Amino acid sequence: MSILEVKNLSFSYPDKKILEDVSFEVEEGDFVCIVGTNGTGKSTLLKLILNILKPDSGEIKIKNIPSKQFDKYEEIAYVSQKATGFNKSFPATVREVVSAGLYSKTGMFHFNRAKDKKAVERAIERVGLTEYADKMIGKLSGGQQQRVFVAKALVNDPDMIFLDEPTVGIDIKAVDSICCLLGELNTAGITVIMVTHDISSVLYHSNKVLMLSEDGKANMTDSKTFNSETVMSHLHHNHNKEG
């Protein structure tokens, strides 16, 4: 079943055309990597899907519901590109940050109950940070911080997760472990849609690649048919690690 459907989507900022007539479909259980050079509109595309921005024309359906009417935000999760840009001296523990993720499910006037606390512990465990639950988030490494945001996204048991460049600015080992984590989540049934520059995750974990180009077009291919040479000609990044 198609869990996300984008049809003839166009979008411009006042001074710049970003997407033109973009169409693609994501099936339940897919692991999609969105690639393209800087500024081609990858983050913008996620924001359009999540209804943070309004399309000029075209149609977006999440679980068969037009995105404008979609309101079950506890079923989909989003880790924004700016997630790790928080104030590093902010006194908050991993557990406190992950608990904030409960809000999209519980809403206002809610007192966290035993089952909410359990969901938080489980999400922290899922990303392998149980022993860091009481640590301040600003003291963790970049890779661990990114895992905290993944845990925050997982706390409501979503069936779809969007990530915007979760591997930027962290070391190669941490990149691998985040990608493996996402691979595991995908195997467990969560649809993963990730903007990335990291070619190895495209090769090892994703089954589909959506390539955005500078003229505003998008092209979805199978990861298998997507060879690294095509990637190199489109990305001016040198992250080619498979040699």
Ligand X SMILES: Nc1ncnc2c1ncn2[C@@H]1O[C@H](COP(=O)(O)OP(=O)(O)O)[C@@H](O)[C@H]1O
13 binds, among ligand X, another protein, Mg ion, none (CB under 5 to 8 A by kind): ligand X
Rule CB under 5 A: say whether 43 interacts with Mg ion: yes
How far apart are alpha carbons 116 and 161 in whole angstroms? Answer: 20
Nearer to ligand X, 14 or 91 (CB): 14
The least distance separating ligand X from the CB of residue 14, rounded to whole angstroms, comes to 7
Output the six-digit token pair for 172.
């190669």
Rounded to the nearest whole angstrom, what is the least distance from the CB of residue 63 to ligand X in the complex? Answer: 24
| 157 C-beta neighbours (distance < 10 Å), count | 13
36, 41, 101, 166: residue in contact with another protein (rule CB under 8 A): 101
Q: Segment 59-88, which members bind Mg ion (CB under 5 A)?
A: 81
Quickly list DSSP for 168-228: TTS-HHHHHHHHHHHHHHHHTT-EEEEE---HHHHHHT-SEEEEE-TTS-EEEEETTT--H
Q: The tokens of 7 are what?
A: 């049809």
Beta strands 31-35 and 191-195, pairing class: parallel
Residue 44's binding partner among Mg ion, ligand X, another protein, none (Cβ under 5 to 8 angstroms by kind) is ligand X
Identify residues 112-171 at the interface with Mg ion (CB under 5 A): none
Query: Does position 50 bind another protein by CB under 8 A?
Result: yes
Position 167 contacts ligand X (CB under 6 A):
no
Q: Residues 24, 42, 62, 94: which binds ligand X (CB under 6 A)?
A: 42
Q: Is 186 in the site for ligand X (CB under 6 A)?
A: no
Closest CA to 195 of 85, 70, 77, 79: 79
- CB 104 → another protein: shortest distance, Å? 4
Give the residue, chosen from 44, 80, 104, 186, that forms a contact with ligand X under the rule CB under 6 A.
44
In the chain, helix, strand, coil percent, each to 5?
Answer: 35, 25, 40
